[in-house]
Amino acid sequence: MQNRRRTRWIRVEGKLQQIDSGPFGCVWGTDRQNRIWYRTKITWKLRQGRKWGRIPGALKYASCGQYGAWGVNKYGYIYFRRGVTNVRPQGMQC
């Protein structure tokens, strides 16, 4: 797939219903079963990373940022997870 500037997209394995990227090394998404995923091994040479890792819990929307990750579950409740870094993209439980 190409855009108008002829910049190519690289297909990455997996299927998600929603995806978000934050600071370098932070990519989170959710699938149709509301499982939460993060991308591992993102580097300057391999910007798409190597594989998906699973985060315990269930969210319909997840977003990662400089200060942590935010999510919304199927009931509309909001959750926060701290400690998201390029070394630990899955963060830590609060």
More confident residue, 73 or 24: 73
pLDDT attached to residue 37:
97
23-55 pLDDT, tens digit per residue, is 878 899 999 999 999 999 888 899 899 999 999
Q: For tokens 């009931």, name the residue.
A: 75
pLDDT attached to residue 89:
79
Taking the model in full, what pTM does it have?
A: 0.85
Of 36, 39, 35, the residue nearest 51 (C-alpha):
39
Residue 2 pLDDT exceeds 60: no
Q: Which residues pair with 88 in a beta bridge?
A: none
Sorted by sequence, the CB contacts under 8 Å of residue 46 that are 6+ apart come out as none
Residue-range domain boundaries for the chain: 18-81
